[in-house]
Amino acid sequence: MNKYFYTSIILVALILEGCFMYSFSGSSLSKEAKTFSIQEFQSNVALGPSDLAEQLTQKLRAEIIQKTGLKEVFSNGDIQFEGTITEFKYTPIAPRSSDTGDVSSRDQLSITVQVNYSNAYDKDFEFNKKSFTQTTDIDTSADRIAEEPGMVEDVLKKLIKDIFNASIANW
């Protein structure tokens, strides 16, 4: 009886230790990291919403706060982000034939962001000028002006996930 009791205690202890080693948020930051800072993202694109860089910065900030518990500081955080939006474009996709020639039935919105990430406690996962690109599609018959805010929202969510996974989650 004692043999099974002690074996059960050891097994439970090992399982609990495993739970504390990994974060359920997807973050694998060093325990020493307590703060983060984000330089306002810049935009080098002529198209798109005028506040696109601000939207990206705010969404990344919210994601980090929600998933890591790190405290934001104005500058020199334990982890730091900065970047530039380098592309915002629509590309015709899904060509089809018509009486007037080949036309596209769908367009694809593509947004590319170049990000610098530094980590004071884990230099191996830092990166400089790493590009992240995400897309979403729209029918050419749709009202692009009316649909664009939702499309941008969709693409930014995907970009934030990619940036978070490449930096904080180390995926």
The H-or-E segment that residue 164 falls in is helix 144-167
Q: How far apart are CA 141 and CA 107, in angstroms?
A: 10
pLDDT for the residue 48: 92
What top-level class would CATH report for the domain 26-167? Answer: alpha beta
As a whole number of angstroms, the distance between CA 114 and CA 59 comes to 16
d(CA 165, CA 92): 29
pLDDT of residue 28: 66
The pLDDT value given to residue 29: 80
Residue-level pLDDT at 21: 39
Residuewise pLDDT in 10s, the chain (171 residues) = 566 766 766 766 666 555 443 444 445 688 899 999 999 999 999 999 999 999 999 999 999 999 998 999 999 999 999 999 999 999 988 666 555 555 668 889 999 999 999 999 988 889 999 999 999 998 887 888 899 999 999 999 999 999 999 999 875
pLDDT at 51: 96
pTM of the model: 0.79
N-to-C CA span, the chain: 44
Look at residue 23 in the predicted model and tell me its pLDDT.
44
* pLDDT for the residue 161: 97
